Structure 1
Amino acid sequence: MRPEKKFLSIEIQEWLEGSAYILFVAYSGLRAEEFRELRQRLASVGARCRVAKNQALTRILRESRRLPEEWTLKGQVAAIAHGDMIAASKILKNFVAEFTRPKLLGGLLDDRTLSAAEAAALAELPSREELLGKLLGLLQAPATRLVSVLSEPSRALARTLAAHEKQQEGAAAT
């Protein structure tokens, strides 16, 4: 292997290392400023979009046993990796709605391949922040109910005393 190709392969391997997912998009027809805009939006959630030679990317992914033999990357393909996968897929979905390109081809999640439909469905999932909020609400709900149950006798006593006081005032007025 020529030194340039070896350097490129090492660079791609290092880029993909540590990412639990990769989304593949066909970016043909996307203008340079639109592609720059997509990269900036993805960078805001920690995701990075990169163009690599299909042959090199395919070889590296097959060597790492992440890409099955039946998958082939053809045409102008970019890979998106790192950061929050759900946020990246939401950004990609919104970008496609705005510019009609790029086309989501599919992806890899750990060692599982994702079809284009499965990868697109990720954009419908709640974000990490939403899930954390729901979890916090679930954790707080029993404590809130317990406080409510424990404070009810004192509230009932206060209501009873207030009603008794009102009754006494009404009797004293007559």
Structure 2
Amino acid sequence: MELGVSQYLYREYNELEEGDLTKLRASIVCEPALVKFAESLDFSKYVLLGKGEEMTGGRDRPALLADVFEAFIGALYLDQGYEKVIFFLNKYVYPQITTGAFSHTMDYKSQLQETVQQHKNKLVEYAIIDEKGPAHDREFFSVVTINGKTAGKGIGRTKKEAEQRAAKQALDALPN
């Protein structure tokens, strides 16, 4: 999927700078976007789950929906080939890019890294400091430091989400 999206963006948005294209691609192939695609196609109703997972709301779990969408793209590629994947993306994914559904999406970790890199000798590091809850309903606690000083904290259902939220908090706290 990433290859197809990259080619599409390069072809259709060649006026954008490389960094902006990278951010846009990242926002399209990230978990929240994959969840939106899966939901728009009602993929959750085709997933077979065990009783326990069904009872704990697994059918609507974002990580599961994103994985299902990625698995579908992979299966389509293996069974039908790259051209069919591109046909599918043209029909269900690219129109959402064209309508601006991703213009607001921001990769806060990349934005923080770029902002901090403007000042030499600044080191950005992320750490997961805690995890709580059962495996199917885990909550991660992240901290981002800049040169060893805590700059932001975040909580999320995935490590990436927690880190993104920590990065956003750090960005919000930086002076303009």
**Aligning the two structures, in what range does the TM-score lie when normalised by the shorter sequence?**
under 0.3
Which structure has more relative contact order (CA 8 Å, sep 6+)? It is 1
TM-score, with length taken from structure 2: 0.20
- Higher CA-based Rg: 1
